[in-house]
Amino acid sequence: MPIYHTGKARLFRQKLTIFVLCFLLSALSGCGKKGPLYLPDDPKPTAPANDTHSSTTQDTP
């Protein structure tokens, strides 16, 4: 009797098929981010804004 007619081989084949399908679905799903992949540039430090009018000072008439 050939091995592919036994219950163990059928169970192995079903598990292998499910494993391969799950692997393919997870590989095709990716991270979900659209567009080309790239490494972002380092953020440039921003200089503090020189505010000449402070909100704590009061103008006197």
| pLDDT, tens digit (0-9, with 9 covering 90-100), for 10-54 | 899 999 999 999 999 888 876 666 777 777 777 777 777 776 655
| pLDDT, tens digit (0-9, with 9 covering 90-100), for 3-21 | 556 788 889 999 999 999 9
pTM of the model: 0.43
- CA-to-CA distance for 24 and 30, rounded, in angstroms? 10
Burial call 14-48: b when 16+ CB within 10 Å, e when fewer? eeeeeeeeeeeeeeeeeeeeeeeeeeeeeeeeeee
Which residues have a Cβ under 8 Å from the Cβ of 40 and sit 6 or more positions away?
none
- CA-to-CA distance for 20 and 26, rounded, in angstroms? 10
Return the biggest CA–CA distance within the chain: 107
